[in-house]
A and B are shown apart, each in its own frame.
Chain A
Amino acid sequence: MAGKVIVCRCEDVTQSDLDHAVALGYSHLEEAKRYTGLGTGPCQGKECMVACALYLALAAGRPPSEVRPFTSRPPVAAIALGTLAGPDDPGEGGG
């Protein structure tokens, strides 16, 4: 495909970056995330992950039914260190 298509706006990852990752064999979502940085910016993949995952599956010749999201990293939304430092220790959280 001609032109520069941005697939992850936070980290400026392009469609050709994904093609390059697939060509090197990094076609699973977790691999492509690490190779291109997709989904590691402020939205943490909430905008781009599904589209990128489907594109990778198609590009690598795998059925979309095999696509799995990458591991979700807390916090759900960016939160200030000062806010986290405020409350007392709530003990064991979700494992």
Chain B
Amino acid sequence: MSAPTTAGPVTAGPPKRETEVLIVGGGIMGLAIAYHLALRGVSDVVVLERGYLAAGASGRNGGGIRMQWSTEINVLLMLESVELCKRFAGELGVNVWLRQGGYLFLAQSEGERARMEKNVALQNRHGVPTRMLLPEEARGIVPELDVSSLAAACYNPRDGILFPWPFLWGYANQAAKRGVELHTFTEVTAIEPSPAGFLVQTSKGPVRAQRVLNCAGAWSPEVARLVGVELPDRPHRHEILSTEPLKPFLGPMVSVLSSGLYFSQSMRGEVVTGITVPDLDDGSVKLGSRLRFLTTLAKELVRVMPRLAGVKVLRQWAGPYDVSPDGSPIVGEVATVPGFYLACGFTGHGFMMAPVVGKYYGEWLAGGPRHPFFDRWRLGRFAEGKLESEEMIIG
């Protein structure tokens, strides 16, 4: 057998010494931006990933994609992102096991029902076919639900789930085919501003870059500190588990608003489910598994879906949310460090947003139009007190 060849997207050897764009973080955000840059002719791009592909949150999330949000900008962007996901397999040449089984949100109080009605009206105004349901109607969609404590539910049949990993392979393959270098197991240790951009020190040698993008997710505050910038986002451990595979029985992703429980059935038949569990949130990325997660989740899941009591848990794992103070991302160029760009703070929905954010980021950096989200989600909003609060954060 020979050593690894270059048939895949990962470049062998050290990164090239000079590049136009250097992207820190080979998760879906960095790879999507790299792909969209290359698609528009900016292929002098180096992507550096500290671990293996899918080592971070991009390889650890539940794969949900939804248009149900509380802010107009997220509704509109996710409408477009779901369309991009539907075209992904054809355009990038890899099956992503997308299944549009809908998202079913469950409200247990009048307050939750009122917020749900407001959000559904917003979504309907923008063409998202979400509808309010009575508890009995929710049971029509998921017959195994215990609806005795429900006040209301809402359902958008066009939301769905997908298998996250192939998105990374698809973006990586297509970016590499267009000349982008991707280096795994390559750590950035220093970023020094210089007259022509930046001198980036890595574990595989130095790289001069005109522009640097911070796409490091939960690790983005660490990367920003290398250029002396303090970001307000913080890592939060989010745990998730997978059960033994079952025959297909569950159409939608189901989520309980009050507890943050969510569960869906993957195309492999496993029930994939997570729930909010408090953590220390001391600024460090924690990926350990806790028994408390298993018991907290099992209690809530069995309460909502009693029939699942006999189903066995196969494995649990954790991924890091990159939590921003108002639940909205932090993007664009840092005013105090020209040439240093952010794509972080996605607060648990970065994966589903990457297809559309990557498209507009690539378009802008390649000299095209600048989407309004670059202004709304700028870093400066926190100092100015102009928050962009999104309440539909799950987990």
Contact = CB atoms under 8 A, between A and B. Distances in A.
B8 A24 contact: yes
Given A42-B244, A84-B298, A95-B290, A79 B312 contact: yes
Interface string B1-34: 1111111111010000000000000000000000
A93 B244 contact: no
Interface in B135-154: none
A85 to B, nearest CB: 4
Interface string A52-78: 000000111100000000010111001
Given A25-B10, A27-B4, A42 B314 contact: yes
Interface residues of B, number: 46
Contacts of B394: none
Contacts of A95: 286, 288, 290
Interface in B276-325: 286, 288-299, 301-303, 308-317
B295 A75 contact: no
Interface in A23-56: 23-28, 30-31, 34-35, 40-42, 44
A40 B5 contact: no
Given A22-B1, A25-B8, A74 B302 contact: no
B165 interface: yes
Contact of A30 (B9, B55, B288, B311): B55
Contacts of B314: 40-42, 44, 73, 78
A61 B295 contact: no
Contact of B7 (A23, A42, A58, A92): A23
Contacts of A30: 52, 55
Contacts of B308: 81
A85 B52 contact: no
Contact of B298 (A23, A42, A85): A85
A74 B289 contact: yes
Interface string B157-194: 00000000100010000000000000000000000000
B395 interface: no
Contacts of A78: 244, 312-314
A3 interface: no
Given A23-B8, A30-B55, A73 B317 contact: yes
Interface of A: 19, 22-28, 30-31, 34-35, 40-42, 44, 58-61, 71, 73-75, 78-85, 87, 89-95
Interface of B: 1-10, 12, 52-55, 59, 165, 169, 243-244, 286, 288-299, 301-303, 308-317
30 contacts: A22-B4, A26-B8, A26-B52, A34-B59, A34-B165, A40-B315, A42-B314, A44-B314, A60-B4, A73-B314, A74-B289, A74-B291, A79-B312, A80-B309, A81-B298, A81-B302, A81-B308, A81-B309, A82-B310, A84-B297, A84-B298, A89-B292, A90-B292, A90-B295, A92-B292, A93-B289, A94-B288, A94-B289, A95-B286, A95-B290
